[in-house]
Chain A
Amino acid sequence: DAGVIQSPRHEVTEMGQEVTLRCKPISGHNSLFWYRQTMMRGLELLIYFNNNVPIDDSGMPEDRFSAKMPNASFSTLKIQPSEPRDSAVYFCASGAGGANEQFFGPGTRLTVL
């Protein structure tokens, strides 16, 4: 298996633009997690899905952020409109048993100018 796949790996955009991050979890995993990592706050959980259903989105910073999981093999995290403070590395992780085993993707480094 190729592991968790994220795209793009790097994204540079201007303030106000829409940004879409993509994730393909490991086949057979039923949990998917979106994390954000910054120097100031470290790793933070944004949202997680179980069997394609959002379970907890309390970490989503505000309405500009939205996440979807239309099927078991694909998820998106969208920021609209983007702001410079959204600059961070966004990780997707998938797991087979809730929070008890997770495999991380390589991350997307987002820079909002």
Chain B
Amino acid sequence: KNEVEQSPQNLTAQEGEFITINCSYSVGISALHWLQQHPGGGIVSLFMLSSGKKKHGRLIATINIQEKHSSLHITASHPRDSAVYICAVPLKGKLTFGTGTRLQVTL
């Protein structure tokens, strides 16, 4: 069993839809990261959070430490949101990554 699991693996949505990507992890952590990898390959850190909720533009990340679960939400999705979204948690001092969720937003 992977220490970090994401769902769904692939997601297709129409422009404007509300999107949720989930991440579950198996051990206690101090913080969780959400990363975005563009089709061109670059990786951008979206959020690092240790409790509650963070919001940046149309992106919202939540975490429930007790349930070892985090969600990334995208409101009013747009084709430019198409990317792979990766959840990562620090284990023994180093980041361990989920397998990623490939999001495709169509017009």
Listed in ascending order, the chain A residues whose CB lies under 8 Å from chain B are 33, 42-45, 48, 55-56, 89, 91, 98-104, 106-107, 109
A residues less than 8 Å from B44 (CB atoms): 104
Which positions 1-49 of chain B face chain A at CB distance < 8 Å? 30-31, 33, 35, 41-45, 48
How many angstroms between the C-alpha atoms of A106 and B94 in the bound complex? 20
B93 touches A56 (CB 8 A): yes
Give complex CA distance A56, B86 in Å: 22
Instruction: Give every chain A residue within 8 A of B100 (Cβ-Cβ).
Output: 42
Min distance, Cβ A38 to any Cβ of chain B, angstroms = 12
Cα distance A84–B32 in the bound complex, in angstroms: 34
CB-based contact A100/B31 at 8 Å: yes
B76 at the interface (CB under 8 A from A): no
With contacts A98-B90, A100-B30, A100-B48 taken as known, whether A91 is within 8 angstroms of B95 at the C-beta atoms is no
Majority secondary structure, A binding face? strand
- Which B residues are CB-close (under 8 A) to A44? 97
Q: Does A99 contact B97, Cβ atoms closer than 8 Å?
A: no
**Contacts known (A43-B86, A100-B30); A109 close to B99, Cβ less than 8 A:** no
* Neighbouring A residues of B43 by C-beta, 8 Å: 91, 104, 107
Pair A33/B95 contact, Cβ less than 8 Å: yes
Given known A104-B43, A107-B42, contact A43–B97 (CB-CB < 8 A): yes
A55: contacting residue among B42, B48, B93, B99, CB under 8 A: B93
Which of A89, A98, A100 meets B41, CB within 8 Å?
Answer: A89
Are A45 and B41 in contact, CB atoms less than 8 angstroms apart?
Answer: no
Give the CA-CA distance A99 to B99 in the complex, in Å.
Answer: 18
Known: A33-B95, A103-B45. 8 other contacts (CB 8 A): A33-B94, A45-B96, A56-B93, A99-B93, A100-B31, A102-B95, A104-B35, A107-B41
Q: List residues of B (43-91) whose CB comes within 8 Å of A's CBs.
A: 43-45, 48, 86, 88, 90
